[in-house]
Amino acid sequence: MRIAIVCGGTSSRSFLSAYFKKNEVDVTIAADRGYNYLTEIGRRPDILLGDYDSVEQGAEGISFSEGKMYTYPAEKDFSDSEAALHVAMDIMKERGESGRIDFLCATGGRLDHFLANIGLLRTALREGVDARILDVKNEIRLIDKSIALQKEEVAGRYVSLIPYTDRVENVTLKGFHYPLDGAEVRWEGTLTISNLCEKETAEILFEKGILILILSGD
């Protein structure tokens, strides 16, 4: 199954519209301001949650009878995006299904929220859930084991690897424009930025650590 979480970062109507036309989404969750973004493209979420400090109508002005609504206090120990992630993972567990969670409108705006959202990808990874942050130019996910990328899925985008842990050991890159053989990649370096897939299948191999995998287009 696929669950889309629409957050309160920078929004693009064309990107959101294209995403929902391209992908078959089973559940759409609006995290606070995400409700505004969905309304702008004529969609309604299945689940609405947050403290509603950023919803245009305010909590009392929302008419939401289409699905579930969760209300949280403004002063809390977690973000609306984090609450949405846990709701999404609970849905998967209840239905006994695996799948993917996409965070939309989770970049831009406040840098602290963006960095925290990358941390939420770690929460999902720990639970064995495929979660990604998508925006107009980027796809971001965390990987803790070797993977293969198909050239068609990269679609001309740059492939960058940034250590999420302090270092990632024995990194080998095959099928890329800039290959690598058994290197230690550290947080403070830029060795694995802006690579390109050259073969039909490109491999990212490593032994220990967690990498932030970013596919970016100019």
pLDDT digits (tens, 9 = 90+) for 15-55: 999 999 999 999 999 998 999 999 999 999 999 998 776 66
∠ CA(31), CA(106), CA(197), 5° rounding? 145
d(CA 102, CA 133): 6
Instruction: Please check whether residues 20 and 127 belong to one and the same domain.
Output: yes
Mean pLDDT of 139-143: 97
Q: Is 201 exposed, middle or buried (0-12, 13-18, 19+ CB in 10 A)?
A: exposed
> What CATH number does residue 153 fall under?
2.60.120.320
Q: What is the largest CA-CA distance in the chain?
A: 58
Which pLDDT value is given to residue 197? 95
d(CA 186, CA 207): 14
Domain boundary among 69, 104, 136: 136
| Per-residue pLDDT tens digits for 82-108 | 999 999 999 999 999 899 999 999 998
Contact 216, 170 (CB under 8 A): no
Instruction: Please check whether residues 112 and 193 belong to one and the same domain.
Output: no
> What CATH number does residue 90 fall under?
3.40.50.10240
d(CA 190, CA 192): 6
Contact 38, 27 (CB under 8 A): no
Instruction: Please check whether residues 120 and 149 belong to one and the same domain.
Output: no
Instruction: Please check whether residues 25 and 103 belong to one and the same domain.
Output: yes
Instruction: Please check whether residues 125 and 189 belong to one and the same domain.
Output: no
Split at pLDDT 50, 70, 90, the class of 62 is low
Instruction: Please check whether residues 148 and 132 belong to one and the same domain.
Output: no
The count of domains in the chain is: 2
pTM: 0.91
Instruction: Please check whether residues 160 and 102 belong to one and the same domain.
Output: no
Instruction: Please check whether residues 47 and 126 belong to one and the same domain.
Output: yes
